[in-house]
Amino acid sequence: MRSGPAATIHGLQDAVCARQPRPALFIDKDGTLVDDVPYNVDPARLSFKPGACKALALLSAGGFALVVVSNQSGLATGRFTAAQFDHLRSALCRALWLHGVVLDAFMVCPHAPGADGAPTCPCRKPAPGLFIEAAHRLQLDLAASWMVGDILDDVEAGHRAGCRSLLFDSGGETLWRTGPYREPDARASTWQDVVRIILDAPQRPAGAWQALPTDLP
């Protein structure tokens, strides 16, 4: 029978191993969580979509980890600095906290797309790198998770990570470029509908997930 520091270490290891992966709600920032103000880093211009904060609180209470996944090419192109964006991120997290919502992670791709608009890195949506990083960091079950975003690149990113994807139809998508990963599992125009769809959906079995390659075809 173990005792002392060794017992404590083994107890912690056993507790970690016993933890079950949990589902996540991956949330696009601009056009989904907040109104889309291009390249905004002014907290005064942050405005949550109607019902978003209440919806996140309900889904968090339902067992979902809350993870924002956001492309921020303005960092690469010099439209704003990392310090300015960090200030905005802190303000957004504090505003959510005041509504009783605590994010589990706020994941950002700071890279610019290529000349054709396609990712040049594994983390820019529609690549799934941010999702995979969050899954490993937070012990998430991607197969039981959802992505909510306002464009089909968000839908594709979620599917490439092994999640279900919901298109938040707020007018952000204008190209409607189709593809094998770009058909949403559901659509919603309000956050109330997002909650209803996700909580009413049949549960997918928790367990191993197979992430697709991060490089796009």
- What residues are labeled active site? 28, 30
Q: For residues 20 and 151, what is the distance between their CA atoms, to the nearest angstrom?
A: 31
Please, which residues bridge with residue 166 across strands? Answer: 148, 186
Contact 19, 137 (CB under 8 A): no
Q: For residues 72 and 42, what is the distance between their CA atoms, to the nearest angstrom?
A: 14
Q: For residues 52 and 159, what is the distance between their CA atoms, to the nearest angstrom?
A: 22
**Which residues are CB-neighbours of 128 under 8 A, at least 6 positions away?**
122, 157, 158, 160, 161, 162, 211, 212, 214
Tokens 């490439």 map to which residue? 160
Sequential DSSP letters for 160-203: HHT-EEEEE-SS---S----TT-S-SEEESSHHHHHHHHHHSPP
What is the maximal distance between C-alpha atoms in the chain?
64
Encoded tokens for 107? 């994941």
